[in-house]
């Protein structure tokens, strides 16, 4: 009995020891494989394979190698020639076009053009030079806001004249941040100041001329935005009509037809009210 128990203990210890050995060997092998893989990847990244010698290249490979070297050499020589002649490519030349003076004698051009364009670039799709504020204002900010408002109304007319027409009224903020290319302060003449003094109004007033331009890419963006806005408006109208119809049918079923006329009137009022709200949103946001 004691001999049997001892043999069982020995076999258990032997089995557990063998399992530990196998696990240790597997763990060591896994770590070694990871280290070897990391070292191989690092050596591959740090030391790339050497270039193939020309003596072993095929005729097609030699031709490709020669053409690649010719292109690189030509580009390098061109850059060196441009640098030596001090000539910049067309895309690097940025010429700010000064705004021409307005008709008033004391017009003073202002150099704070938001987006000056270059004569090397394509002509804008819509160009409004020197759009003047409707009346003189005591501050430059008010005169600029007036001129921008006049420009946005003229932009709508220009957009409608495009082929195909674009019925969009841009906001004043969009015109001032995206389309404004030049600002000119127009000071009043001595006769204007005398007339204002005689009328007992402030003589410290001025006009503002703005130059507005819209590129082809901006016109395409406006067309895309207009289509999306129209789709949203139509979806909103459809939702309002469906909601009104569903409400009418639901409540008519609950009342068993006793209030059909009243429910129909309520549904019509809800549909008209929803349409009016959407129309107000469209008008206020400039979606046409």
pLDDT the model gives residue 97: 32
Judged by phi (left if over 0) then psi (alpha if -120 to 50, else beta), residue 204 lies in beta
Which helix H or strand E contains 129, and what residues bound it? strand 126-132
Q: pLDDT 10s digit of each residue in the chain, 288 long? A: 444 444 444 444 444 444 444 544 454 445 444 444 444 444 334 334 445 555 666 666 666 655 555 544 554 555 455 444 443 333 323 223 333 333 443 444 443 444 555 444 567 889 999 999 999 999 999 999 999 999 999 999 999 999 899 888 899 999 999 999 999 999 999 999 999 888 888 888 999 999 999 999 999 999 988 888 888 888 888 888 888 888 888 888 888 888 888 888 888 888 888 878 877 776 666 555
pLDDT at 113: 46
| pLDDT for position 83 | 44
For residues 185 and 102, what is the distance between their CA atoms, to the nearest angstrom? 9
Where do the structural domains in the chain lie, given as residue ranges? 1-45, 107-214, 222-285
**pLDDT given for residue 186 in this prediction:** 92
Q: Is the separation of the CB atoms in 249 and 207 below 8 Å?
A: no
pTM of the predicted model over 0.75: no
- Longest alpha-carbon distance in the chain: 134
CA dihedral 48, 54, 60, 65 (to 10 degrees): 60
d(CA 10, CA 4): 10
C-alpha–C-alpha distance, residues 265 and 270, integer Å: 9
The full DSSP string for 195-259 is HHHHTT--S--BEEEEEEEE-HHHHHHHHHHHHHHHHHHHHHHHHHHHHHHHHHHHHHHHTTTTT
- Two tokens at 210? 């703005």
């Amino acid at each position: 009995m004691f001999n049997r128990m001892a043999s069982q203990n020995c076999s258990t210890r032997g089995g557990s020891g063998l399992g530990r050995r196998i696990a240790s060997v597997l763990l060591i092998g896994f770590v070694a494989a990871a280290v070897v893989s990391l070292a191989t990847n690092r050596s591959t990244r740090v030391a790339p394979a050497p270039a193939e010698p020309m003596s072993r290249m095929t005729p097609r490979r030699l031709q490709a190698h020669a053409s690649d070297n010719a292109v690189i050499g030509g580009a390098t020589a061109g850059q060196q020639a441009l640098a030596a002649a001090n000539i910049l490519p067309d895309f690097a030349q940025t010429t700010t076009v000064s705004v021409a003076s307005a008709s008033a004698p004391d017009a003073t051009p202002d150099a704070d053009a938001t987006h000056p364009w270059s004569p090397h670039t394509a002509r804008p799709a819509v160009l409004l030079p020197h759009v003047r504020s409707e009346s003189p204002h005591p501050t430059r900010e008010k005169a600029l806001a007036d001129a921008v408002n006049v420009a946005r109304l003229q932009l709508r007319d220009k957009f409608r004249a495009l082929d195909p027409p674009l019925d969009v009224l841009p906001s004043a903020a969009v015109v001032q941040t995206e389309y404004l290319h030049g600002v000119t302060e127009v000071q009043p003449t001595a006769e204007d100041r005398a007339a204002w003094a005689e009328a007992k109004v402030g003589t410290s007033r001025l006009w503002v001329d703005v130059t507005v331009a819209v590129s082809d890419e901006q016109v395409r963006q406006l067309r895309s935005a207009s289509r999306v806005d129209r789709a949203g408006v139509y979806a909103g109208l459809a939702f309002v009509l469906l909601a009104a119809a569903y409400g009418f049918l639901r409540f008519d079923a609950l009342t068993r037809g006793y209030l059909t006329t009243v429910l129909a009137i309520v549904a019509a009022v809800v549909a008209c009210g929803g349409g009016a709200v959407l129309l107000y949103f469209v008008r206020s946001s400039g979606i046409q």
